[in-house]
Amino acid sequence: MQEAYVSETSLSISRVAIVGGGLAGCECARKLSQAGITVTLFEMKPERYSPAHQLEGLAELVCSNSLRSDQLESGVGLLKQEMRELGSLVMEAAEATRVPAGKALAVDREKFSAYVTNVIENDANITLVRKEIASLDAPELAGFDAVVIAAGPLASESLGASIAEAVGSTHLYFYDAIAPIISADSIDMTKAFWGSRYLPDDKDYLNCPMTRDEYFAFHAALIAGEKAPTKDFEKEIHFEGCMPIEALAERGEMTLAFGPFKPVGFTDPSTGTRPFAIVQLRTEDLNKSMFNLVGCQTKLKYGEQDRIFRMIPGLENAEFVRYGSVHRNTYVNAPRTLNHDLSLKSRPNVFLAGQITGVEGYVESAACGMWLGIILAARARGTEVETPPVETCLGGLLNHLRTEQKNFQPSNVQFGLMPELGMRAKKKDRKALYAERARGRFAEWLEAVRETL
């Protein structure tokens, strides 16, 4: 077992302020409340919205309604299971609001947000304050035993500048792109067909098949399409896991056909043959009234989105419920700026949680916030909780935030964050072996630390 991280301070924790009502902030607040700690959760909506947010509710999902694979032989599926066993609010809400998505866990985003908001608003230990916090030294934060910054990757410029000053260097950033959502009623069902890869009877995805000529015409339009401008003072850095479709297209004519548009596993029922390429649409709600264009996150201008995405067969008359967009994601160089308990090295009573620490993705952000809540709750009881082993998904993710790198980058949870298996195994068996080891190590750890949780 790994040693517990011992705090560099002897904070007496009974009152905590959390800045940001996203996934990480709500997870952290819930864990603290369950430990009897008084929490004030500051959320700037509806006083102010980031460029990507629209709903007044907490825990708004802005990039996709999918929490990705639910299979235990994937890193994110395994992390979700670990979170369930630790009593995650986000997993509770996701199960209550899930929509069909094959082997993935997807949710109705409005119902998901409403579920989390209802839990937080009705928690006697949590006070929700709808107010923007612009600085680590904001007067609203005075008097708290600990301050948690869970402002997400879209932290305001003023708060971002305050964090940058605290960590002693310019904060890092990358760009994240959002896929369009269209109305189901506007899809031509004589061209689109239901089915998941290798599962023609599955009704979780709609598929728009493309001929060779249609694909290359669409590819050319993406390359030529007018993009939203980048601010002069910002260098454009895309996170590989959420690359804009036009940026992918620029890598080569067949990049999309071998990537998000690959037709493998599909047969077009109208022709009885495999399409040259295929665009998948994933349901956004239980009523299947809206669909997300899978893999089509974009920074094209809105007018260009109207024109270019309607080139996809079946979407000629697409009605856009939400256009794709691009926004800046902000994060710190965690190994250099954070202690192992996610506190700032320069200000140990200030903690970071979620994507701003350098984890990437909904699930990973929620897990980070939940873990910080567990740490602070244990500390309030006068003890320290042992860090999960690096062979587990949560432990591997936390270890990523502690590992010095020449060019620190945000990371999704993956088996690559864990130690090697230390044994020979066929490629097709490795994920199962990683998962089996992780499940065993997590069970051992959970049994050992149960009294400190």
The β-bridge relationship of strands 126-130 and 38-43 is parallel
Contacts of 301 (CB under 8 A, 6+ apart): 225, 226, 227, 228
Q: CA 447, CA 320: separation in Å to the nearest integer?
A: 49
Q: Which residues, including other chains, have CB under 8 Å from residue 75's CB and lie 6 or more apart?
A: 393, 412, 413, 414, 415, 417
- Please, which residues have CB within 8 angstroms of residue 410's CB and are 6 or more apart in sequence? 174, 239, 329, 331, 355, 358, 359, 360
To the question of whether residue 25 is assigned a binding role by annotation, the answer is yes
Contact between 106 and 69 under an 8 Å Cβ cutoff? The reply is: no
Torsion of CA 107, 109, 114, 119, to 10 degrees: 50
Contact 190, 257 (CB under 8 A): no
Cα dist from 109 to 48, 90, 115, 327, whole Å: 20, 12, 10, 19
The annotation status of 20 as a binding-site residue, yes or no, is yes
Instruction: Quote the CA–CA distance of 326 and 230 in Å, as a whole number.
Output: 9
- Please tell me the distance from the alpha carbon of residue 368 to that of residue 362, in angstroms, as a whole number: 10
Contact criterion met (CB below 8 Å) for 210 and 277: yes
Helix %, strand %, coil % of the chain (to 5): 35, 20, 45
Backbone angles phi, psi at 28, to 5 degrees: -65, -45
Measured N-to-C along each axis, helices 212-224 and 302-309 cross at an angle, to the nearest 10 degrees, of 170
Annotated binding residues? 20-25
Annotated binding residues for FAD? 20-25
